[in-house]
Amino acid sequence: MKKMLLPLLMCCMPLVQAADYSIVDRAKLFDDKMKTMEMLNPYGHDFYLGINAALTTEITDLVDKATDVGSNVDDVNAALSPFYDKEQALRAKLEIGFPLPSFSAFNINFTPDFELSAGLLTMLTPSSEFVTLSTVIENLDQIPADIRDSIQGCIPINGASGANCSLSEGDDILQCLVDSGTATCDVSQEDVDLIKEVYGIDSLPYIADIDDQSSEVPVLHAYAKMEVKSGVKFKYETEDKHIFGHLALNALGRLDIYKYADASLLLGGGGDMEINNNMLMNMTLDYKLGYRNTNYSVFTSIEDVKVSEISSEEVGTPAFGTDPLIRLHSQFDYKLSIFKVAAFLGSHARSGYGFGDAYYLGADWGVHIWSDRLGLTIRTMLDKEHATLGFRAKMWFFQTDLMAKIAIADQVDNVKVNELYTANIRFFF
């Protein structure tokens, strides 16, 4: 799985651009918003195959630019500046499921399903910032902390109290630390070789603008996550159909990467860095409890509750974390002949963002015939950052939808909110 992440992350190793911006928290919110879109189109008790995709329009252009940044800071700036302070995102997901035998007990009807999903998410946010040499070294977080501490003792690198180097633009900082070390700068050739091997770089180029902080330099946030989830979901409903919900026990595996890179690392060829495998596999629980009457329903749910750890890697755990997703949702349904309206309101929260960041309201306006086997639906939806307009077509064996999420907020955490487009196709048998 880590090989699959490499093409998406070539040269995309981020640096922090603002203290109040966290690309991991933004990726959590983005991912959970897409889960909300999927939740609004629930699966029935069928065999099914679903494919979901969401992206901003400039994500592929940014990846292309980032893989060929040139040979100096001006080249990097020219490549990335059109995308500064704008989030670019890509998400893809495959879902498969099949029904298990239904049964009843204690006046409750159970319809269990086996479900399997696999998804990939990538988010990139370039910017320009004032960066220090200390930050450059601290961002080398794929090497042991004691080596980073040794290198920090070499700063300032162009003074007698540090490494006592005499560097020109583009010279290799790492090699100079070995060749010109002092009593406070104890960096071995083995340390330098390790850094270059781990990050796949030939050098860590010296950039005067970073050393004297005379001007901003290009930086890039990048986050990517792969996730696989499988288990059995027991949907339940009381005989009077008022109480409903589900209980699911799943195996949830996550692998992600959240890295820093500055202009030095990008120019050094850091896009070929070997990525450590931080796969974490947990046994998790999902639970949903709802109430409905003739036209109105409301539910609360909690997802990804960690029950126990199945396996993990020694190199660390995913930056995404293991905190659960909590959801509140209500819906009003109205039907007149072949016309249907479903108005909904809700929100969700997870560590990194709150209910106030994720509220939404909207309505599905549809025409359905042949016992809902054929239908056309238009979705209008509003949340804190986007207005959504979507179209869904349904036949008896598949449905497909296209949606556009148009930015209504200018910025969030000093980063421009981008337009987002989603597509979904679902087959059921």
**What would the DSSP string read from start to end of 412-425?**
ETTEEPPPEEEEEE
d(CA 162, CA 144): 21
Top-ranked range on mean pLDDT: pick from 30-34, 128-132, 151-155: 30-34
Q: What pLDDT does 13 receive?
A: 35
For residue 324, the 8-state DSSP code is P
Residues in CB range of 313: below 8 A, 6 or more apart: 276, 277, 278, 279, 280
DSSP calls for 230-280: EEEEEEEEETTS-EEEEEEEEEEEEEEEEEEEEHHHHHTTGGGPPPP---E
Instruction: Among 216-225, 292-301, 408-417, name the most confident range.
Output: 292-301
Burial class (CB in 10 A: 0-12, 13-18, 19+), 389: middle
CA distance 350 to 323: 7
The Cα–Cα gap between 400 and 371 comes to: 18
Average pLDDT over residues 291-300: 96
Residue 179's identity, in one-letter code, is: D
Q: In one letter, which amino acid is 107?
A: N
Residue 271 or 184, more confident: 184
Backbone angles phi, psi at 132, to 5 degrees: -105, 165
More confident residue, 367 or 136: 367
Q: pTM here? A: 0.86
Sequence-distant (≥ 6) Cβ neighbours of residue 11 within 8 angstroms: 66, 67, 69, 220, 261, 266, 270, 271
The three-class DSSP label of residue 179 is helix
Closest CA to 280 of 320, 257, 253, 303: 253
Alpha helices, DSSP H only, in 49-154?
59-66, 73-80, 133-138, 145-152
Q: Worst-scoring range by mean pLDDT, 83-92, 179-188, 404-413?
A: 179-188
Between CA 63 and CA 391 the distance in angstroms is 29
Identify whether the C-beta of residue 41 lies closer than 8 Å to the C-beta of residue 375: no
List, in order, residues 6 or more apart from 375 with CB less than 8 Å away.
Answer: 366, 367, 368, 369, 392, 393, 394
Q: Are the C-beta atoms of residues 344 and 380 closer than 8 Å to each other? A: no
Residues 39-55, mean pLDDT to the nearest whole number: 88
Structure token pair of residue 202: 């030939």
Q: Could you tell me the domains of the chain?
A: 2-130+217-428 (2.40.128), 133-211 (no CATH)
Q: Under a CB-based contact definition with an 8 Å cutoff, are residues 225 and 255 in contact?
A: yes
Burial readout 72-88 (b: 16 or more C-beta within 10 A, e: otherwise): ebebbbebbeebbebbb
**Could you tell me which residue, 240 or 131, shows the higher pLDDT?**
240
